[in-house]
A = this chain, B = another copy of it.
Amino acid sequence: MTSTIPTLPEIQQGIDAVEKLMLSQADEYHSDLKSALSVLLSSGGKRIRPRIILLLGSIFNAKKETLITLATSIELLHTATLVHDDLIDGSLLRRGAPTLNSKWSPAATVLTGDFIFACAANLAAKTNSIEVMSLFSKTLMTIVNGEVNQLFTSRCNTSKEDYYRRIYAKTASLFETSTHTAAIISQVSDQQVEIMRKFGYELGMAFQIVDDVLDYSGDQTVVGKPVGGDLRQGLITLPMLYFMQTHSDDKNVIDLLNGNCFQDEQSVQQLVKEISTSQAIENSLIEAEQFAQRALNYLNELPTSSEREELIQLTKFSVMRNK
């Protein structure tokens, strides 16, 4: 995303500072932790959360050092959850690069994730805001609870309500916390804090829906991981939910509704192809656009600035990534 929407020079400087601070976390610790951080950083990532935090903080005149600390804390929390997530899912690729668990032992991967959690918490404490700390830990509880739900609850049978709860836990909660905490450390009015919290929520929901659409219709070389991954794991997302509505007599859909997930690669590929060329994709994107539109409405309440313009472009782009 960063390569498509150009960023303001001062924001790019901020992103560079965030990446430097991320890498420096293991400076006084075991060299393998440093290597792990370095591998994780070099595999890229859009840095969308730090970027939004930096843009909002810049609009609200937040103290620069605190802003960098917060943005790094949130990005590390995100990174730590990905490390454990990839281990749990057994994913071998993320962003087109090998995952940590594909190269390291489960033990090393668990500990690296734990260490990054600890670094993230340490930086959250350095913002000197109890409210930030509290949101940080509650968000982690929400994310992990979502993963536990996904692990223990039958994946085959799901409702739209379940789906929304799931993508809130997985993605929108941390987007919400990003924009919420960026406003908190800026000491703007409670009303503005609340508007920013809602902006993050709506953007995060839109963002995850589009991610889920890309898992069907995306180009593997762009997405950085094989398409159909969700379905292969028996994970029902919005495109599949829409497809099920209009294809209730499809054999594979009946199988799913009866609680039988897919083990058979041929069925998965066939269904991915059917869904990716169906109306389900368009319907899902319409929902994503509705979330993005609400996010834009919140942005409209901010004064005009080049930072606001970038946030508008980012929000629009988040739902146009597959077009």
Question: Which residue numbers of A lie inside 8 Å of B, CB to CB?
Answer: 29-30, 32-33, 84, 87-88, 105-108, 110-115, 117-119, 121-122, 124-126, 128, 130, 133-134, 136-138, 140-141, 144-145, 147-149, 151-152
Contacts and interface: CB of A to CB of B under 8 A. Distances in A.
Given A84-B114, A118-B140, A30 B145 contact: yes
A88 to B, nearest CB: 4
Tell me the interface secondary structure of chain A in the complex: helix
Contact of A88 (B111, B115, B119): B111
B108 A122 contact: no
Contact of A133 (B29, B33, B112, B121): B121
Contact of A30 (B32, B118, B149): B149
B115 A117 contact: no
Contact of A108 (B105, B121, B140, B152): B152
A121 B132 CA distance: 12
Given A30-B152, A111-B148, A117-B114, A133 B140 contact: no
A121 to B, nearest CB: 4
9 contacts: A84-B110, A105-B151, A111-B144, A111-B151, A115-B141, A115-B148, A119-B141, A121-B136, A125-B136
